[in-house]
Amino acid sequence: MKKRNISFESLCIHDISDDKNKSHQLPIYATSSFEFDTLKEGIDVFTGEKEGYLYSRYSNPTINAVENKIACLEGYDLDVEPFGIMTSSGMAAISTLCFALCSSGDSIITQEDLYGGTTQYFEKVMAKYGINIIYTDLNDNDTLYKIIEKTPKTKLIYIETPSNPTLTCIDLRALSKIAQHHKIQTIVDNTFCTPYIQRPLSMGIDYVIHSTTKFINGHGNGISGIIVGKDKVSYEEISRAMKLIGTNSNAHDAWFVNNGIKTLSLRMNQHSSNAMELATYLDAHPKVEIVNYLGLSSHNSHQLAKQQMSHFGGMLSFAIRGNIHDASTFVDKLSFCTIAPTLGDVDTLIVHPASMSHMNIPKEIRERNGIPDTLLRASVGIENIDDIIYDINQALS
């Protein structure tokens, strides 16, 4: 059902629905199961002889429409049509995909600065099943080659670009070339970018996962995730894992995601232009020591971001001069921006990584990864930029 002839922005807006009642908007199928007219029909649907829905843990028309939509967006510039499998959360997408692809004894190569939940899943869950996790700098090709040579059972390279909260980018084209050469599969967590800004499948990556809780939903009213891939053979295996582990999404959260996608391009444009203005303001402020924003030419990944992303996105981080107490005073003085441990919503959200998202990581490792006690992360919203800057300015003074 791919609509190749229309632009990305229009594809976001138009629903791909075959509702027989011709509902203009995507209907919410609030049902756990689907009925059959005859036992024969039931058997045919169960065996796959006939197309149809059975039970909403397996599949549901609302969820199905949204997974197809996101798959079309991630595969917008591909010849093949990818598949999408929605999950109950971003973590469910990551864990379902890794469980489906890995066996005990396999290794996963990844980076140190991952989303905290992902690192903990690797360390506290995957490690128990005999899956070996190797952390390295994924932009350092020489070291990567050496690790791959020493580790014959490398199954996956797991990537997050740009990373949280310093926004370091990984060169996806270079990495996918190395991985393909060694027959290693690649996964990109594309949560920070959305397919409007970055499309890893078009750069040779095998799978994309999202916390659709964030920018794709955009309004902070549900928890959900998605796995997108282009290999139909692996679809069966991953979809089976989703059904049997029970990490399915639900029609209500899927519907919220669908509603959010309609304004994805408008929102990402505004997130990006507001973030650029805020970064420029912070960069010139005497009380600000460091600004990490991909749109600033001073950022280490600025050039790479220009090559593989269409915009610089809505995420930035900055370190204020002083100590941890100055950082907490700043946060407490904010009155317009919200202190909340999520990102990608339409309003501006601030976190203090050292005491929130990265509190379990020892100070020494945090500092090595560019997260001093005085660092703050902003998910810049789409409000009027003057209100955002006014609030940050008063909190800084």
Ligand X SMILES: *Cc1c(COP(=O)(O)O)cnc(C)c1O
User: Is residue 189 near ligand X by the rule CB under 6 A?
Assistant: yes
Look up residue 183 and give its two tokens: 């027959």
Contact region for ligand X (CB under 6 A) — 98-106, 174-182, 189-197, 243-251?
A: 189-197
Reduced to 3 states (helix: H, G, I; strand: E, B; else coil), residue 382 is coil
Smaller CB separation from ligand X, 83 or 115: 115
Give the residue, chosen from 154, 185, 211, 292, that forms a contact with ligand X under the rule CB under 6 A: 211
Q: Which residues contact residue 152 at a Cβ distance below 8 angstroms, ignoring those fewer than 6 apart?
A: none
Task: Give the binding range for ligand X (CB under 6 A) out of 210-218, 243-251, 293-301, 382-390.
Answer: 210-218
Residue 154 as a binder of ligand X (CB under 6 A): the answer is no
The helix/strand/coil state of 107 is strand
**Does position 191 bind ligand X by CB under 6 A?**
yes
| 373 binds ligand X per the rule CB under 6 A | no
Which residue from 91, 349, 361, 380 is in contact with ligand X, where contact means CB under 6 A?
91
Nearest distance from C-beta of residue 27 to ligand X, angstroms: 24
Residue from 71, 187, 208, 223 in contact with ligand X (CB under 6 A): 223
DSSP 8-state assignment for residue 203 = G
Q: Least distance from C-beta 22 to ligand X, angstroms?
A: 33
Task: Work out which of 61, 75, 82, 90 binds ligand X, going by CB under 6 A.
Answer: 90
- 110-149 residues in contact with ligand X (CB under 6 A) are 115, 117
Angstrom distance (rounded) from CA 162 to CA 189: 9
The helix-helix angle for 385-396 and 324-333 (nearest 10°) equals 130
The closest of 61, 392, 345 to 217, measured between CA atoms, is: 345
Q: How far apart are CA 127 and CA 393, in angstroms?
A: 45
Neighbour count for residue 383 (Cβ, 10 Å): 16
Q: Which residue in 155, 199, 214, 311 binds ligand X (CB under 6 A)? A: 214
Told to check if 322 binds ligand X by CB under 6 A, we report no
Q: Are 205 and 188 in contact (CB under 8 A)?
A: yes
